[in-house]
Amino acid sequence: GILFSGVMINEYHVIPPRAESFKSSAFCSADCLNAFLEEAGETMHIVGVILHSHLLGVKMSARLIHNGVETEIARDDNYDFNLQFTRMLKEEVPVYPGDTLITECTYRSTHKDSVVYGGFGTPQEMCDTFFVYYPKFNMTKCESLPHVDTTLRYAGVQDYDFDFETGEVTITAPANMVNMSFNEVMEAVP
């Protein structure tokens, strides 16, 4: 099977402009993995990895936390969007209940004058790992959402409402930001 794991693909994945090095991390937690591992009744064995980012990505890694010990599965310190491939592992990596998978991306946006958002288009960004594994079970993705509260507070938002059904943010403070959209707030950051 193939397990897609990474940062949820949406506008809340924000890469600031003019950054020499900006990191995004995604966690496929035990909460997400355990039910499927227990349903399968078997250990998951990772045999290959595809690291995926878009044009701003310059470094990527996939790691596993097992019993509190972090192990690198794959790493690319010279990531190139135009040179993506499946990395077959020399040794299988077992994944047990309680484990966590991490995907980390480093971006360089020194040439950008505005925020770059997460999205499916090449000019937007992603931070994903496709884990090739066996035995196959009924799980195709395990994503994590960037911490919207931290992002909004960094931009100067003091209070907001988040609609969990629609994913929309409504800014309620400070007064000069009331009724601004998430994108308007992000683009106003100097």
How do residues 104-116 score in pLDDT, each as one tens digit?
Answer: 999 999 999 999 9
Q: Is pLDDT of 190 > 80? A: no
In 2-147, where does DSSP find H-type helix?
30-40
Rounded Cα distance between 54 and 183, Å, is 20
Q: Do the strands 100-107 and 159-163 form a parallel or antiparallel pair, or are they unpaired?
A: unpaired
* Average of per-residue pLDDT values in the chain: 94
Residue type, position 46, single letter: I
Rounded Cα distance between 90 and 99, Å, is 21
Rounded Cα distance between 134 and 79, Å, is 26
Rounded Cα distance between 78 and 92, Å, is 24
Mean pLDDT of 149-175: 91
- Residues near 183 by Cβ (< 8 Å), separated by ≥ 6? 11, 115, 117
In this prediction, residue 178 carries a pLDDT of: 94
CB neighbourhood size of 170 (10 A): 14
- By percentage, how much of the chain surpasses pLDDT 70? 100
Cis-peptide, bond into residue 174, ω within 30° of zero = yes
Rounded Cα distance between 38 and 45, Å, is 14
Structure confidence by residue, pLDDT tens digits, 13-51: 999 999 999 999 999 999 989 988 888 888 999 999 999
Cite the beta strand spans of 67-121 per DSSP E: 69-76, 87-95, 100-107, 116-117
Total count of residues recorded for the chain? 190
Rg (CA), the chain: 18
